[in-house]
Structure formats: structure tokens, C-alpha cells
Amino acid sequence: MNSLRPSVIALAAALLLTGCAQLPADAPLTLTVLHTNDTHAYAAGIDRRDRACLDDAACTGGYARLAEVIAARKAANDNVLALDAGDVWPGTLFYKAGGPKTITGLTNRIPWDAVTIGNHEFDGGCEEVLDYVRARSVPVLGANLEASSSCPLAEAGVVRPWIIRKIQGVPVGIIGMMNDEVVTISGACEETRFLDRRRALQTAANELRGRGVRHVIALTHLGYPSDMKLAASVTGIDIIVGGHTHDYLGPEPKAAGPYPTVVRAPDGAPVLIVTAWRSTAYLGELTVTFDRDGRAVSWKGAPVKLEASMPGDPGMRAELLPLRDKIEAFKKKTVAVNHHRFPDGIDLCREGDCLSGMLAVDAMLEWGRTFGADIAVLNGGAVRESLPEGTVTHSDLMDIMPFGNRIVVREVGGKAIREALEHGVSDDDVIGPRLLQCAGLHYRISRSAPLGSRISDVYVRLDGVWTPLDDRRSYRVVMNSYMASGGDGFKMFKSAPSASEEDESDLDLFESHLEKLGDIPMPENPRILWN
């Protein structure tokens, strides 16, 4: 960071935080943890419809506010740690315009103390992850990484299991836990291997405790449900700062749980779990007081919404200007017009029918008919934004489909299709990024049914007639290359024979389809039914 400006100092003074102190190593400690997760290149924040902004002036969050507020908190108090739980990219046109190196450079201006790696950092493969880790200005942590010698991440010291930071003279340990599903849900090489989560975290906690560290934080990109399971199975962890599942914790109706969520470890000690939604909209702030035995005795905090009225780092804003100029060129091409208000976007496409998802699979099936396709499916996590109301531009579609996937046709048995639908609702809370958007097919989900039995009433439209899915026959299914390669755990598609002689860009298909529609009609729905 640059030297603190008057605006930072003024903000720090307004926070009324206490000054510096040095404590004995065994003294009671009050620690404040600031945290972010799943920022996904929302460099200028997010608007009221949860869409990425190009200018943060009227938006929530953004890199400039994160940098400014964290710097102010640290300037005002010497008991502050700032942590990020991964998935810094991809996600928006800032990433498209600047690429991973530019986004990494921008996030290096945010004064985090440590980060872990999310699954999306692996989208470009392990070499790109290695470049990312080398370029980070803060330690990158992953105690569960056990890369084989042929994996680029096996380079000694590039990813550290944990670090120790002195807070007012008291050692605080921070352990990283990377997403161990990156071989199946992202682009990691097969040589990227991981230790068992619980054992890796317990081993690291034991090592830190053995070094006299009485306060330990786990920084994870495993998801809120997994964090709760870890908290209940590992001793020696005081705080878990998590990411991955985009959960909001706090008082609002949409909250997945309280902030912090308190789980008891096997020895009865409280473990405080926090996460801060996504897209830079919130900065989590947790303050914990520990007694002389190192046990948390009181805590308070909340996800702080980074409102448009809050100051931002002017240097960061200046660095974003060249990227905004590039993005403006993407916005000049008008594609279609949308007059519909229908559930849509990164969250709602994981919960049921969504506008962008339905239009995308319709485009895929239209293309796939040339190869005899009957069905199109798309993982809900592939949709990253909502379709805007009014004019739809090329840049809007780039925000919705930022991953550069190809579209292919595979010959898939009916039984495998049913398995894929069940896999799509296999998260603990049923909904999630694997939920399948569909065309030429509809199905019913039962929230209360046990895992593996949540799907029923699966119908395929053949020659214009809705017909029950036949487990014994095969169908031609259009999907993206990510799913076809077994991504997101769709292993049933990986061995399916190819039925298309070529592939096509998901973005190009989507754009061509919407251009033909012009004034976009409401897609046929419902396709996903709920009990």
C-alpha cells in the first residue's frame, strides 16, 4: 500500500478503535479479523440487481473500498488481521479486459495478511496457479495440498501450510485449507493431490499448538457446510474464515446462519465460523476476546456492507480506468432487448429455472439439433450474471458466460442422465452450482427426499411429445466442455461418446441465439418443478 492519506486517517479516527499495545505471550487478547471471499474480480463492486459495476460511485463494494477500509482499520488498531478465502477471479469484464495478472496486481493493493486459493484460481490449470502464487504479495496458504513431484505446485515453499503473525506480541496461527475438489470441478492437473481435510487441519493445529501458539484461525475455501463439519471434528481451532458457497451470515432474512456461527469442537471449545457472501459487497468484521488460557470467551461482529457513501482508495480507482476503457468497447455492440423480470443470476440459477439459464440451453439445443440432439443441460454455476432489463449488449453476455467453454454433443444413456440430475441436487441444502438448467427435458425435485432419490417425473420431448425418460435407451445431450470433461463431478458424462463433429463457443451460441430473437420472448417454463 501507499502511505496513508488524510481520508484513511480520518476514517480510522471515526472508527474509535484503540491504539497500540504489546502484551505478554500468555496475556488475554482481543483480536479483530477482517475477511473477504469469492471477490471474483468485482473490481468496481455490485449494483442493486447484483450485477457487476464498471464504476463504484453508485455501487456497493469494489477493490477501492476494500483497500481503504482495511487500511483504515489497521491504521487505527494493531490487533487487526485481514484475510481472503479465495476465488479472486474470474467473474467480470475486468478480468476479461485485464486477465489474471492484472487482477492479481490490483488485489495486491488490498492489505490482506494471508490468502488461500479458491477453485476458480485453478480454471486455467496449475501453471497459471503457480504464476498467481508467485505474484501474490502476501502468503498463500494450503495445509492440505500434497502435490506430486510432477505438479507445478510442488515447488518448495510456494504454498505454505500455515503462518504465525504476532498481534500485540501474541502469536496467532493461520492455517490455509484449499478446495480439494479442484481436479473434478476446475482445471487442476491430476498430480494436484490433497490430504484428508480433517487430518490435515488437525495436524497443522497440533503443530502450531506445539509451538506455543494458543490462537489458531483456519482460512478455508471449502464452503459453509464443510466448515461446520470441520469445526465439530477438529480441536485447537478458534476461528474458521470461509468461502466457496457464497453464504451470507447475519441478521438479514437471506442469511444461511448467524454471524458468527458457533460450533463446539470435540473438546467443547467454541469455534467461530464466518464468511462474507461474495463479489466484494461485504467486509466481514469479527472481534474475539480470549482469556489467559487462550479460549474465546466473548465475540461480536457482522458483515459490513461497503456502501457507496464510504471512501475508496483513489490510486486503485485510477488503475481501473484503463480497464474500463477496454470494457466500453465491449458495450458498444447491442445484441437484443429484454423486457422480462424473472429469477436470474449467479445465485438464482442455482435454485431453479432462471432466465439466462433457460435462454442459454435453448441456444445450445437449437445448435445441437443439427447433430440429432434431444436435450441440452447446463450447470447452474456456469451462469455468473443476470440478463439486464432493456438493451442487452455483448459485454452483458460476456459477464454471464465468462469461462470460454465450448459446446459439444454426447451420446448419453437415460440412466446416466438421471444420475446427472441427482448429482445436480446432491448438496446438503439441495440447491447449488451443479443444479442443471435444461431444454428438451423437465424434472421434479423433492427437497425432503434422501440423497440419491430427490429426482422424479423426468420427461424428454421427442418429436414434440413429452415422454418419460427411458433408462435403457440413449439420448444425444448438448453440454459444455466443462461438464463433458467430468467437471463439477459429472463423471457420468466423461466417458460418453461424442456425437458432434465440431464444437462451438458458449458465448457465440448464446449471442447468436439472442440476436435472432431480437425482442426476447419469455422462454417456456417451468422446466424444474419442486415438491
Does residue 11 surpass a pLDDT of 50? Answer: no
Give the confidence band of 501 by pLDDT, cuts at 50, 70, 90.
confident
Single-letter residue type at 245? T
Angle at 342 between CA 341 and CA 348, to 5 degrees: 135
| Burial (CB count within 10 angstroms: exposed 0-12, middle 13-18, buried 19+), residue 192 | buried
Does residue 15 surpass a pLDDT of 80? Answer: no
Q: What percentage of residues in the chain have a pLDDT greater than 90?
A: 85
Residue 394 is predicted with a pLDDT of 93
Same domain, 400 and 512: yes
**376 falls within a domain:** yes
Q: What percentage of residues in the chain have a pLDDT greater than 70?
A: 96
Does residue 6 surpass a pLDDT of 60? Answer: no
Residues 197/226, Cβ–Cβ less than 8 Å = yes
Give the confidence band of 17 by pLDDT, cuts at 50, 70, 90.
very low
Number of domains in the chain: 2
**51 falls within a domain:** yes
Does residue 503 surpass a pLDDT of 80? Answer: yes
- Strand ranges (DSSP E) for 406-496? 406-413, 436-439, 441-445, 455-462, 465-468, 474-480
Residue 156 is predicted with a pLDDT of 82
Same domain, 314 and 405: no
Does residue 493 surpass a pLDDT of 60? Answer: yes
| Burial (CB count within 10 angstroms: exposed 0-12, middle 13-18, buried 19+), residue 241 | buried
Does residue 340 surpass a pLDDT of 90? Answer: yes
Cell matching residue 344: 436470474
Give the confidence band of 428 by pLDDT, cuts at 50, 70, 90.
confident
Average pLDDT (324-342) is: 91
Residue 36 is predicted with a pLDDT of 98
Cell matching residue 293: 488460557
Residue 5 is predicted with a pLDDT of 44
Same domain, 268 and 401: no
**13 falls within a domain:** no
Within 10 angstroms of residue 414's Cβ, the number of other Cβ atoms is: 17
Does residue 257 surpass a pLDDT of 90? Answer: yes
Does residue 8 surpass a pLDDT of 80? Answer: no
- Looking up cell 454433443 gives 409
Does residue 2 surpass a pLDDT of 60? Answer: no
Residue 47 is predicted with a pLDDT of 94
Question: 430 CB contacts (<8 Å, ≥6 apart)?
Answer: 445, 447, 454
Average pLDDT (260-286) is: 98
Residue 16 is predicted with a pLDDT of 37
Same domain, 517 and 489: yes
Same domain, 264 and 347: no
Does residue 65 surpass a pLDDT of 50? Answer: yes
Average pLDDT (475-496) is: 94
**9 falls within a domain:** no
DSSP symbol at 269: -
Same domain, 75 and 206: yes
Residue 24 is predicted with a pLDDT of 72
- Looking up cell 506480541 gives 169
Residues 27/170, Cβ–Cβ less than 8 Å = yes
The CA-based dihedral angle spanning residues 204, 209, 213, 216, taken in that order and rounded to the nearest 10 degrees: 50
**11 falls within a domain:** no
Does residue 12 surpass a pLDDT of 90? Answer: no
DSSP symbol at 350: G
Does residue 7 surpass a pLDDT of 80? Answer: no
Does residue 26 surpass a pLDDT of 90? Answer: no
**4 falls within a domain:** no
What confidence tens digit (pLDDT) does each residue in 219-236 have?
999 999 999 999 999 999
Half-sphere exposure of 156 (CA within 13 A, CB side): 0
Single-letter residue type at 145? L
Same domain, 263 and 336: no
Query: Which of 57-71, 90-104, 107-121 shows the lowest mean pLDDT across its residues?
Result: 90-104
Q: Which of 293, 323, 353 represents a domain boundary (last residue)?
A: 323
Single-letter residue type at 121? E
Same domain, 361 and 427: yes
Q: Which of 198, 202, 201, 247 is nearest to 224 (CA)?
A: 247
Q: Residue 70: which CATH number?
A: 3.60.21.10
Q: Residue 414: which CATH number?
A: 3.90.780.10
Q: Which of 265, 289, 323 represents a domain boundary (last residue)?
A: 323
Residues 259/123, Cβ–Cβ less than 8 Å = no
**22 falls within a domain:** no
Does residue 505 surpass a pLDDT of 70? Answer: yes
Residue 381 is predicted with a pLDDT of 94
Q: Which structural domain range is residue 392 located in?
A: 332-530
Residue 31 is predicted with a pLDDT of 98
Residues 382/403, Cβ–Cβ less than 8 Å = yes
Q: Looking at the DSSP assignment, which residues form a beta bridge with residue 145?
A: 194
Q: Which of 356, 378, 524 is nearest to 438 (CA)?
A: 378
Same domain, 291 and 350: no
In whole angstroms, give the CA distance from residue 171 to residue 158: 23
Same domain, 319 and 377: no
Same domain, 114 and 86: yes
Query: Which of 62-71, 247-256, 370-379, 519-528 shows the lowest mean pLDDT across its residues?
Result: 247-256
Cell matching residue 103: 487482477
Q: How many residues are there in the chain?
A: 531
The CA-based dihedral angle spanning residues 233, 235, 236, 241, taken in that order and rounded to the nearest 10 degrees: 10
Distance of alpha carbon 435 from the chain centroid: 16
- Looking up cell 502435490 gives 147
Within 10 angstroms of residue 531's Cβ, the number of other Cβ atoms is: 11
DSSP character string of 230-261: HHHH-SS--EEE--SS--BBSSSTT-SB-SSE
Tell me the backbone φ, ψ of residue 365, rounded to 5 degrees: -70, -40
Residue 21 is predicted with a pLDDT of 62
Within 10 angstroms of residue 172's Cβ, the number of other Cβ atoms is: 25
Query: Which of 322-331, 439-448, 514-523 shows the lowest mean pLDDT across its residues?
Result: 322-331
Query: Which of 20-24, 123-127, 241-245 shows the lowest mean pLDDT across its residues?
Result: 20-24
Q: Which of 323, 357, 382 represents a domain boundary (last residue)?
A: 323
Same domain, 354 and 459: yes
**10 falls within a domain:** no
Question: 309 CB contacts (<8 Å, ≥6 apart)?
Answer: none
Average pLDDT score over the chain = 93
Residues 442/421, Cβ–Cβ less than 8 Å = no
